[in-house]
Amino acid sequence: MTAAKTPTPRRQPIGGVALLGWVIGAAAAFYLLFLLITLVLRRMPEPIGSNADLFSQAAQMTLLLTVGGGALGLVVGILAGLARTSAFAPLRWIAGTYVWLIRGTPLLLQILFAYNALPLIFQALHLPIQLNDYWSAVLALALNVGAYNAEVIRAGIQAVPRGQSEAARSLGLSGVQTMQSIVLPQALRIVVPPLVNNLVALLKDSSLASTIGILELVNQGGRIASSTFQFIPVYITLGAVYLALTTVLTLFTDVLEKRIRVASR
């Protein structure tokens, strides 16, 4: 007789506790990274050694821009992606126009518009909204990456077999319940890799925030290079810090991607 096979325990979907642990781990890793960057750069020859703290502070601002823009951009992308697949035609048209405008214009222009033009629009509409340079950059970055996330999420929703939606509706679930409980969770698992790529690209694109005076890595490095005329070591240092940031970010996003892939089996 053939021995009965022991059933393999089913993996549970990644929960809030696991996700919180991932966030805490990523925050701790970046904190240690900034300490390491400071310690290493302090041992470098001039003009790097005396400006190590400035490089570290600029790297922190680059990460803050990335996290702020990435988190808000994910929300925008989900909403726009859902709108792009909506049965309500005007909603699809609005979302499609947003994606068309953002993807068809440069990020630099969007940052300048958010910083210089939006306050004038708010003032003309008598809206009590004020944006400083940081939030202007975060808003522009979020809207930019949100448009790309929207197309990714739209593709993920369309990749979920239509039969699952029909089965859910036949069981009495509404369209909203079907999207929230059946379609969207599967779509988000499918699109994790391209969303991660968009986040890594956003970290590098955040350098454009230097045009409105934010002291992120490129702006701070440019100031140091201009004052010391030591362009080669400064630019090499900037490249090394960017590589460190993207490496750690990619490491933790890969961990999240693998965890989600295992949980969805």
| Local structure of 173: helix, strand or coil | coil
- Among residues 32, 62, 37, the alpha carbon closest in space to that of 51 is found at 37
Give the model's pLDDT for residue 180: 72
Listed in sequence order, the residues at least 6 apart from 225 whose beta carbon sits closer than 8 Å to its beta carbon are 231, 234, 235
Residue 265 is predicted with a pLDDT of 55
| Torsion sign (Cα): 25, 30, 31, 37 | positive
Within 10 A of 43 (CB to CB), how many other CB atoms are there? 9
pLDDT at residue 5, rounded to an integer: 47
What CA–CA distance (Å, rounded) separates 182 from 176? 10
pLDDT per 10-residue tile (average), the chain, 265 residues: 45 60 84 93 93 95 95 95 90 95 96 95 90 94 96 89 75 72 80 89 95 94 94 95 93 78 57
pTM > 0.75: yes or no: yes
How many separate helices (H) and strands (E) can be counted in the chain? 12, 0
At 69 the pLDDT is: 96
Q: Which two tokens stand for residue 81?
A: 């992606």
Contact 195, 222 (CB under 8 A): no
Distance CA 196, CA 212 (A): 26
Q: Are 221 and 238 in contact (CB under 8 A)?
A: yes
User: For 23-37+50-263, which CATH superfamily applies?
Assistant: MetI-like (1.10.3720.10)
